[in-house]
Amino acid sequence: MIKVLVVDDSLFMRTLISDMLNSDPEIKVIATAKDGQEAMKKLSRIKPDCITLDLAMPGWDGLTTLEHIMSEHPTPVIILSAHSKKDADITIKCLNAGAVGFILKPSGELSLDIKDVKHQLLEEVKVASRAEVGRIKLLVTKRPKRPGRKLAAINKIVVIGASTGGPQTLEGILYSLPLNFTAPVIVVQHMPSRFFTESLAEHLNRACDLEVKVVQNHEVLKAGKVYLAPSGSQLTLKLRGKEIISCLNKAVADILTPSVDITMKSVAEVYNGNAIGVILTGMGRDGCEGMQAIKESDGKTVVQDETSLIFGMPKAVIDAGCADKALPADRIADAMMELVS
């Protein structure tokens, strides 16, 4: 039984969220709290497997409450966020402060239609409850920056796929890459809306030496830049003369958007043996077929090992025999630099 604490300043929302969670026989809401201070008092007496946490609350907001939770009673946390640029910025900060994942409220803070995301909420809580607190704390620990290496200029590309736990892991990897990194880097991070992809790009751009941005349609890819695939579009590449450009395609029903598989297959086709595929933490199998395509085109493949926050996506690649290396997150930047050189 997964024990959950629900934190929200609205009694109506606490009741709806609790009813949705309790409808699943594997989940039980053991307590609720109307604000961060009450949540901390209850955490001193109970030990939930997961916490759902609202962002906008009187007194301590969601980020402040999360920081107290992670320092005093470390527990996997799912953020409930409204759909706005401001909330997206705060949500990215929460992910980097230790939140495992987040759910978008369909229609703002008081979402009468919150039941529209019931299936996603149940799945996220189940995934979060399996995350080890020790790995969460490791993700948010800032490591000293290592000196960059002298890299040879070779026409290669790195494409990274990630989902749950990805934003925190990405920061650590990209932070470790030097300014003279001689390949473009494409990142396909599962995100529910463009607001969140843009906020993640802005956060990573501030934290890293390399320029990080959301890729635009028909943008020429350049070495030493990091391009995030925008939510709601499928990112593919094509050759235009001697340049390789991005192509943003409309989402197709029943296909995850953005899809790691679609982008990696395109990268494998355009770059052949010069593609380097990397799969990080996440639930599901997205990226498995893409990594197979990269490997079959004589490219190289690296996955995060079982130290992943969620070992679903990397494990699928390993089980398929498509991983050249399985490494902890703090060794992946070094592997990328070796493969690019």
Candidates 190, 199, 203, 266; catalytic one = 190
Looking at 286, 297, 305, 308, which residue is catalytic? 286
Residue 190 falls in the annotated catalytic set? yes
Measured in whole angstroms, how far is the alpha carbon of residue 294 from the centre of its chain?
Answer: 22
How many residues belong to the chain?
Answer: 341
Q: Is 8 a residue of the active site? A: no
Half-sphere exposure of 34 (CA within 13 A, CB side): 4
In the set 18, 81, 129, 163, the catalytic residue is 163
What is the C-alpha to C-alpha distance for residues 214 and 199, in angstroms, rounded to an integer?
10
Each residue of 248-276: b (16+ CB within 10 Å) or e?
beeeeeeebbbbbbbbbbbbbbbbeebbb
In the 3-class helix/strand/coil scheme, how is the chain assigned residue by residue? CEEEEEECCCHHHHHHHHHHHHCCCCEEEEEEECCHHHHHHHHCCCCCCEEEEECCCCCCCHHHHHHHHHHHCCCCEEEEECCCHHHHHHHHHHHHHCCCEEEECCCCCCCCCHHHHHHHHHHHHHHHHCCCHHHHHHHCCCCCCCCCCCCCCCCCEEEEEECCCHHHHHHHHHHCCCCCCCCCEEEEECCCCHHHHHHHHHHHHHHCCCEEEECCCCCECCCCEEEECCCCEEEEEEEECCEEEEEEEECCCCCCCCCHHHHHHHHHHHHHHHEEEEECCECCCCCHHHHHHHHHCCCEEEEECCCCCCEHHHHHHHHCCCCCEEECHHHHHHHHHHHHC
Q: Is 71 a catalytic residue?
A: no
Catalytic residue positions, numbered:
163, 190, 286
